[in-house]
């Protein structure tokens, strides 16, 4: 059923407005009745002609609530209809669209196996996230006896394994991706992940060198064996090819990591364990498979530019194709986005049980948590080589990103609309690079240009009206993916230098956010101590004769003392935490109230 010929098409005008499951609204131009044949039966079905620009000019959709079919054919009918996607050139037929009543207009309808959600006749980009199964990796974390030392050597990799990602939030966020400016565009603000934020979140610095480009030589079995402290014959025996790329099965690597941990070979265990994190979490590609790209990136320990490149590349590609699976380090992108969401109790609790689409559409630039003091001394990578922005090379292609749009996230003001030349968009897929962008991007990373306070002026985390007006105009042109739940208030309009009162308010706001983040970091430290104490309780105190415990180089008394010290340190941290909470709460009381309190 590859083509459907429609003769005598009649379009009945309609002023219907329909709402989708995600909260957005769409206008219906009119109704058409088309014959759909299933087996020997033909069903005359009403479709609605709807504008869904900019994704497509027009879409014929089925109003499922009007469906009337014999029960046995119902599911088959839905499956066939949910593959119907047609693009109509409105510019050619617009003037006669509502007067067509004869067979002089012929339109072939193509059938494509795409994912489309039909709820009350609306359309939604089907964005899929496929987080890998990390159960075996989480089990290996119990073998990391010194989490702080591991963090110092390899960064904040362990928290990525336990991050509970809200896939609904991430699917909603993907709808806000702006393919023109390579950012997330909202009603009156823009957000985009930056190199500096990713480096902080993953705890790995950006090296002053050319990042992974894919032009590096594929490591030999001998080189991989040296990297992982594994016998070369084992590497040769298990090296295989999947999806056109070489790599090692994760089951083999997990087994080797377990063997070396039990043998107390810490260097070999950590090397294999970290490679598994690189291959399955940071740079996922094929399920249960660590490909040579992950091995090459791990060998130089400069993953941040590639991590950011994969995120932008996959978001841009899926947006261009109208949906599909986004392949990047999902926990890291999630941690970045929630770091900017409001930190208020009301927003976090969501007692109204609002959908993420409603919650995100209700946000304005005043609600966003813009800046963290950890970036006070950071130098921003502003552009590279010949490019006016920063070219990023991922594992599957290249794309540019625009740090000039993210200055507020790093503590500097956004004063005016950026010049278009500074927002040049570049994108290519691996193997489809007729302009030779990859070679140019590699050369550009040999000349990194950074900016800080001396070039950008004092820290002042604000957005002025000229910039905000430009963002609002872009939002109206590009169209928000959902309906506005409430009017968007204006941001502060004023000079680049705030009044004394404004400065005090910003200082209070910064202190409040810093206190919140300090509190969260302390809580995370307590959780890490709890996890280690729980592990020691089980392995040493509850079950001192456990097989794994018997392999430890120290006596159980040593580990009992270690447990006692950790327990005391945790108790001291909790006491300090409680005292700090009380002190900060008192310091934040209004002056009049503080003076009345004894």
For 509, residues 6+ apart whose C-beta sits below 8 A from its C-beta are none
Calculate mean pLDDT across residues 489-517.
51
With beta carbons less than 8 A apart as the criterion, state whether 419 and 181 touch: no
Give CA–CA dist 201/444, Å, rounded.
25
Other Cβ atoms less than 10 A from the Cβ of 239: the count is 15
Domain housing 45: 3-124
Of 89, 124, 159, which residue sits at a domain end? 124
Calculate mean pLDDT across residues 17-45.
63
Report if residue 155 sits inside a domain.
Answer: no
Helix ranges restricted to H, 108-187: 135-140, 147-154, 158-162, 167-174
pLDDT tier, 542 (very low <50, low <70, confident <90, very high otherwise): very low
pLDDT of 519 > 50? The answer is yes
Report if residue 40 sits inside a domain.
Answer: yes
Report if residue 88 sits inside a domain.
Answer: yes
With beta carbons less than 8 A apart as the criterion, state whether 154 and 270 touch: yes
SS3 content of the chain, % helix, strand, coil (to 5): 45, 15, 40
Calculate mean pLDDT across residues 301-312.
97
pLDDT of 124 > 50? The answer is no
- Summarised one tens digit per residue, pLDDT across range 309-356 is 999 999 999 988 888 889 999 999 999 999 999 989 999 999 989 999
Report if residue 49 sits inside a domain.
Answer: yes
pLDDT of 386 reads 93
pLDDT of 361 reads 93
- Summarised one tens digit per residue, pLDDT across range 225-243 is 999 999 999 999 999 999 9
Report if residue 57 sits inside a domain.
Answer: yes
Number of domains in the chain: 2
pLDDT of 575 reads 76
pLDDT of 548 > 50? The answer is no
- Pick the more confident residue, 318 or 526: 318
pLDDT of 21 > 50? The answer is no
Give CA–CA dist 263/269, Å, rounded.
9
Other Cβ atoms less than 10 A from the Cβ of 326: the count is 23
54 upstream amide cis, omega within 30 of 0:
yes
- Summarised one tens digit per residue, pLDDT across range 77-113 is 333 443 343 323 222 322 222 222 223 322 332 322 2
Lowest-confidence range among 287-296, 383-392, 515-524? 515-524
pLDDT tier, 396 (very low <50, low <70, confident <90, very high otherwise): very high
Report if residue 314 sits inside a domain.
Answer: no
pLDDT of 4 > 70? The answer is no
pLDDT of 424 reads 83
pLDDT of 483 reads 73
Give CA–CA dist 107/11, Å, rounded.
13
pLDDT of 379 > 60? The answer is yes
pLDDT of 25 reads 62
Tokens of 531: 């996890």
pLDDT of 480 reads 79
User: Percent of the chain having pLDDT more than 90?
Assistant: 50
pLDDT of 332 reads 98
pLDDT of 403 reads 96
Rounding to the nearest 10 degrees, give the CA dihedral for residues 561, 566, 569, 575.
-120
pLDDT of 587 reads 60
pLDDT of 516 reads 64
pLDDT of 562 > 80? The answer is no
- Pick the more confident residue, 209 or 591: 209
Q: What's the pTM?
A: 0.65
With beta carbons less than 8 A apart as the criterion, state whether 70 and 40 touch: no
Q: What is the DSSP string of 36-52?
A: EEETTEEEEEEEEEE--
Strands 245-249 and 289-291: antiparallel
Of 66, 89, 124, which residue sits at a domain end? 124
- Summarised one tens digit per residue, pLDDT across range 578-594 is 777 667 666 655 444 44
- Summarised one tens digit per residue, pLDDT across range 424-478 is 889 999 999 888 999 999 999 999 999 999 999 999 999 999 999 999 998 888 7
Give CA–CA dist 260/276, Å, rounded.
14
Most confident region among 8-12, 96-100, 388-392 by mean pLDDT: 388-392
- Reported as half-sphere exposure (CB side, CA atoms, 13 A), residue 415 has a value of 10
Report if residue 470 sits inside a domain.
Answer: no
Report if residue 588 sits inside a domain.
Answer: yes
Mean pLDDT of the chain: 76
pLDDT of 14 > 80? The answer is no
pLDDT of 550 > 50? The answer is no
Tokens of 34: 């088309």
Lowest-confidence range among 31-40, 342-351, 527-536? 527-536
Give CA–CA dist 562/552, Å, rounded.
13
Helix ranges restricted to H, 63-134: 71-81, 90-93
Give CA–CA dist 264/144, Å, rounded.
11
Calculate mean pLDDT across residues 402-419.
94
Calculate mean pLDDT across residues 115-129.
44
- Summarised one tens digit per residue, pLDDT across range 170-202 is 999 999 999 999 999 999 999 999 999 999 999
Of 106, 124, 142, which residue sits at a domain end? 124
pLDDT tier, 523 (very low <50, low <70, confident <90, very high otherwise): low
């Amino acid at each position: 059923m590859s083509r459907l010929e429609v003769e005598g098409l009649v379009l009945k005008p309609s002023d219907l407005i329909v709402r989708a499951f995600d909260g957005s609204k769409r206008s219906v131009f009119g109704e058409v009745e088309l014959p759909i044949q299933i087996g020997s039966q033909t069903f005359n079905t009403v479709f609605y002609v709807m504008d869904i620009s900019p994704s497509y000019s027009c879409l014929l959709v089925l109003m499922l609530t009007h469906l009337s079919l014999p029960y046995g054919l119902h599911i088959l009918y839905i499956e066939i209809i949910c593959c119907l996607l047609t693009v109509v050139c409105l510019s050619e037929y617009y003037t006669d669209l509502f007067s067509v009543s004869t067979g002089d207009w012929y339109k072939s309808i193509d059938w494509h196996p795409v994912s489309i959600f039909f709820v009350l006749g609306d359309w939604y980009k089907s964005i899929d996230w496929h987080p890998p199964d990390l159960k075996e990796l989480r089990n290996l974390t119990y073998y990391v006896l010194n989490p702080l030392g591991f963090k110092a050597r390899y960064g904040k990799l362990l928290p990525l394994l336990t991050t509970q990602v809200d896939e609904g939030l991430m699917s909603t966020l993907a709808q806000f991706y702006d393919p023109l400016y390579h950012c997330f565009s909202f009603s009156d603000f823009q957000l985009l992940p930056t190199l500096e934020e990713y480096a902080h979140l993953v705890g790995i610095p950006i090296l002053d060198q050319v990042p992974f480009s894919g032009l590096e030589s594929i490591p030999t079995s001998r080189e991989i064996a040296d990297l992982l402290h594994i016998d070369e014959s084992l590497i040769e025996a298990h090296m295989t090819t999947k999806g056109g790329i070489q790599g090692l099965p994760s089951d083999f690597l997990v087994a080797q990591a377990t063997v070396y941990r039990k043998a107390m070979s810490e260097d070999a265990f950590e090397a294999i364990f970290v490679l598994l994190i690189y291959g399955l979490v940071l740079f996922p590609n094929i399920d249960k498979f660590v490909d040579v790209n992950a091995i090459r990136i791990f060998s130089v320990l400069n993953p941040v530019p590639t991590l950011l490149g994969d995120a932008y590349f996959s978001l841009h590609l899926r947006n261009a194709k109208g949906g599909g699976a986004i392949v990047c380090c999902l926990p890291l992108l999630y941690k970045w986005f929630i770091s900017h969401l409001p930190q208020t109790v009301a927003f976090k609790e969501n007692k109204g049980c609002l959908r993420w689409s409603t919650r995100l559409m209700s946000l304005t630039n005043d609600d966003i948590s813009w800046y963290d003091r950890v970036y006070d001394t950071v130098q921003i990578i502003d552009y590279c080589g010949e490019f006016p922005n920063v070219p990023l090379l991922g594992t599957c292609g290249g794309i540019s990103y625009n740090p000039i749009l993210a200055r507020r996230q790093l503590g500097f003001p956004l004063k005016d609309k950026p010049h278009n030349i500074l927002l040049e968009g570049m994108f290519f897929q691996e193997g489809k690079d007729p302009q030779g962008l990859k070679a140019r991007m590699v050369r550009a990373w040999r000349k990194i240009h950074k900016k800080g306070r001396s070039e950008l002026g004092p820290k002042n985390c604000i957005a002025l009206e000229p910039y905000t007006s430009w963002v609002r105009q872009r939002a109206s042109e590009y169209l928000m993916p959902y309906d506005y739940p409430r009017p968007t208030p204006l941001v502060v309009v004023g000079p680049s230098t705030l009044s004394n009162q404004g400065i005090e308010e910003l200082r209070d706001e910064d202190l409040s956010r810093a206190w919140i983040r300090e509190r969260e970091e302390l809580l995370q430290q307590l959780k890490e101590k709890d996890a280690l104490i729980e592990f020691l309780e089980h392995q040493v105190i509850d079950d001192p004769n456990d097989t794994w415990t018997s392999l430890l180089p120290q006596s159980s008394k040593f580990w009992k003392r270690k447990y006692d010290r950790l327990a005391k340190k945790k108790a001291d941290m909790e006491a300090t935490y409680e005292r700090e909470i009380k002190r900060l709460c008192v310091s934040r009381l209004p002056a009049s109230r503080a003076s009345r309190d004894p």
